[in-house]
């Protein structure tokens, strides 16, 4: 009888532990929450691109945000203060990751404004970044913001 009770208690503890672990995992699809973790003032946002769910947890999201009152945001740094791998991720984002995703839509003009805005952000020395590695060496979160333009982007790429 004691063995049955002990087995039931162990199973319940394992289930509670698994549920707690699952609930504690970040939800990278919740753009507003993810942006609010880095942006400490009132903002508005719009989802620009959400990839279809790939194999496993593969995903890519792009969300545009603006601050109600433009300001310098704590933690955002210029590209020259980032390490080599972070700079590579940013270059890959600007040059390949989403440009290739959006090429099919170039003729429709669906992403023309976004591509132009991202080009302006890339070329501006006033653009600041926060880069976070996720889970492995290929997945990351990228926050981009330019106070003068009052434009920011939240990008998540999980491979």
Domain containing 122: what range? Answer: 27-158
Please identify which residue in the block is written with the tokens 């976070």.
Answer: 132
Report if residue 19 sits inside a domain.
Answer: no
Report if residue 3 sits inside a domain.
Answer: no
Domain tally for the chain?
1
| Greatest CA separation for the chain | 71
Report if residue 13 sits inside a domain.
Answer: no
pTM here? 0.76
pLDDT confidence of residue 57: 66
Task: Tell me the mean pLDDT per 10 residues along the chain, length 159.
Answer: 80 72 57 77 86 69 91 91 89 74 62 86 94 77 94 86
Is residue 158 within 8 Å of residue 139, measured between CB atoms?
A: yes
Is residue 152 within 8 Å of residue 66, measured between CB atoms?
A: yes
CA distance 152 to 65: 5
């Amino acid at each position: 009888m004691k063995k049955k009770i002990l087995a039931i208690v162990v199973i319940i503890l394992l289930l509670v532990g698994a549920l707690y672990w699952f609930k504690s995992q970040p939800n990278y699809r919740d753009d507003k929450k993810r942006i609010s973790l880095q942006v400490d003032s009132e903002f508005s946002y719009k989802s620009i691109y959400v990839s279809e769910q790939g194999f496993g947890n593969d995903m890519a999201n792009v969300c545009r945000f603006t601050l109600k009152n433009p300001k310098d945001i704590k933690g955002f740094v210029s590209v020259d203060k980032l390490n080599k791998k972070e700079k590579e991720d940013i270059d890959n984002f600007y040059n390949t990751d989403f440009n290739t995703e959006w090429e099919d839509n170039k003729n429709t003009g669906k992403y023309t404004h976004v591509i132009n805005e991202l080009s302006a952000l890339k070329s501006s020395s006033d653009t600041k970044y926060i880069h976070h590695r996720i889970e492995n060496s290929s997945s990351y979160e990228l926050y981009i913001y330019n106070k003068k333009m009052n434009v920011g982007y939240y990008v998540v790429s999980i491979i």
